[in-house]
């Protein structure tokens, strides 16, 4: 009966392995962050060089495509209003 009174419901943990595990996890996290920083910097620099080598910058291409889409929408709406929804002139 004395054995039951001394037992607790929690596991017995040693601090040494927990501290070692925490230190290793922290070191691993730092390595991951360093790797992401190096890789991200490389991708950013390569993308910047690629954009600089383009004859037409992406912002200008987007403006041109937007103008084409607007013109197509206007032409389509005009044709629809002229011919009617079923394509018959009316």
Tell me, yes or no, if the pTM score tops 0.75.
no
pLDDT digit string (tens) for 69-86?
A: 999 999 999 988 887 666
pLDDT digit string (tens) for 44-56?
A: 999 999 999 999 9
Q: In whole angstroms, what is the distance from residue 21 CA to residue 23 CA? A: 5
**Is 66 a residue whose pLDDT tops 80?**
yes
**Is 89 a residue whose pLDDT tops 60?**
no
Whether 42 and 50 have beta carbons less than 8 Å apart is answered as no
């Amino acid at each position: 009966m004395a054995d039951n009174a001394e037992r607790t419901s929690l596991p017995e943990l040693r601090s040494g392995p927990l501290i070692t595990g925490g230190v290793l996890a922290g070191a691993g996290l730092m390595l991951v962050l360093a790797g992401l920083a190096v890789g991200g910097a490389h991708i950013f620099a390569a993308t910047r060089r690629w954009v600089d080598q383009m004859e037409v910058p992406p912002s200008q291409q987007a403006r041109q495509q937007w103008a084409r889409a607007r013109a197509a929408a206007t032409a389509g709406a005009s044709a629809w209003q002229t011919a009617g929804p079923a394509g018959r002139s009316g």
